[in-house]
């Protein structure tokens, strides 16, 4: 039995070295980055058996994501798609007063069309715990419905559910987030809210 299954989007993060600006950089460091897959990596490092579930484009950039997660020992169970793209984002680091700058390029990502019918729900039903975040239902109407369905499936199966609100102001308004997230709470056993951190973009 898998200790933890997580579900959500993982993007490729492109970062200029040091504090160089995006528009002047000649090279970028590429890393896979996603809230739910990060949790899977952390759990794996703590000695748990973790699986990340998602939908990715059947392409070299999609496989770049699973290859990096595999290097951390995380098992992946992926719906490979001929449609949709791999989301990316650019992270520019800067010291005060400049600060960091994040530019997302995730429109039409393959994961935004993921449905329960194509996902390995049996993995969730047989896992000790299931984790996702508030980023996932914010990405599309389809993922809003899918997130609700997966949490309900986990609850019905007796799988412990964990949910990190992880609010992102670039994805939806506080009012939209509250309406959607409160509807999910009946199927959430462990709710994570970081009140010390300002809402990230």
Assigned domain for 100 exists:
yes
Assigned domain for 181 exists:
yes
Assigned domain for 198 exists:
no
Structural domains of the chain, count: 1
**What is the DSSP-derived secondary structure letter of residue 42?**
H
**Nearest Cα to Cα of residue 159 among 132, 189, 183:** 189
H or E segment at 162? Answer: strand 160-164
Q: CB neighbours (10 Å) of residue 21?
A: 12
Q: In this structure, what token pair is assigned to residue 123? A: 């993995």
Assigned domain for 40 exists:
yes
Q: CB neighbours (10 Å) of residue 125?
A: 15
Containing structural domain, residue 21: 4-192
Distance of CA 79 to the CA centre of its chain: 15
Residue 5 · residue 160 · CB < 8 Å: no
Give Dmax over CA atoms of the chain in angstroms: 52
Residue 88 · residue 12 · CB < 8 Å: yes
d(CA 39, CA 154): 18
Q: 49 — alpha (psi -120 to 50), left (phi > 0) or beta?
A: beta
HSE-CB at 90 with a 13 A cutoff on CA atoms is 15
Assigned domain for 44 exists:
yes
The two beta strands, 101-105 and 88-92, are antiparallel
Assigned domain for 199 exists:
no
pLDDT for 97: 86
Write out the chain's pLDDT in tens, 201 residues.
Answer: 799 999 999 999 999 998 899 999 999 999 999 999 999 999 999 999 999 999 999 999 999 999 999 999 999 999 999 999 999 999 998 888 888 889 999 999 999 999 999 999 999 999 999 999 999 999 999 999 999 999 999 999 999 999 999 999 999 999 999 999 999 999 999 999 986 655 555
d(CA 26, CA 64): 21
pLDDT for 197: 54
pLDDT for 54: 98
Q: CATH number of the domain that 75 lies in?
A: 3.40.1190.20
Which residue has tokens 């019918």? 117
Residue 51 · residue 123 · CB < 8 Å: yes
Instruction: Please name the residues in contact with 115: beta carbons below 8 A apart, sequence gap of 6 or more.
Output: 142, 145, 146
């Amino acid at each position: 039995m898998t200790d933890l299954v997580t579900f959500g989007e993982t993007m490729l993060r492109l970062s200029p070295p040091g504090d160089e600006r995006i528009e002047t950089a000649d090279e970028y460091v590429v890393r896979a980055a996603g809230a739910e897959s990060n949790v899977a990596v952390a759990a794996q490092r703590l000695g748990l058996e973790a699986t990340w579930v998602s939908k990715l484009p059947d392409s070299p950039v999609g496989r770049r994501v699973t290859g990096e997660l595999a290097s951390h020992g995380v098992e992946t169970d992926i719906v490979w798609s001929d449609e949709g793209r791999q989301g990316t984002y650019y992270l520019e680091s800067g010291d005060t007063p400049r600060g960091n700058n994040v530019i997302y390029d995730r429109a039409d990502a393959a994961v935004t069309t993921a449905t329960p019918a194509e996902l390995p729900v049996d993995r969730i039903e047989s896992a000790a715990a299931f984790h996702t975040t508030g980023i996932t239902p914010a990405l599309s109407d389809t993922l809003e419905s899918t997130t609700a369905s997966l949490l309900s499936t986990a609850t019905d199966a007796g799988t412990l559910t964990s949910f990190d609100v992880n609010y992102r102001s670039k994805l939806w308004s506080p009012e939209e987030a509250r309406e959607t997230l409160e509807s999910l709470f009946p199927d959430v056993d462990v709710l994570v809210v970081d009140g010390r951190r300002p809402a990230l973009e």
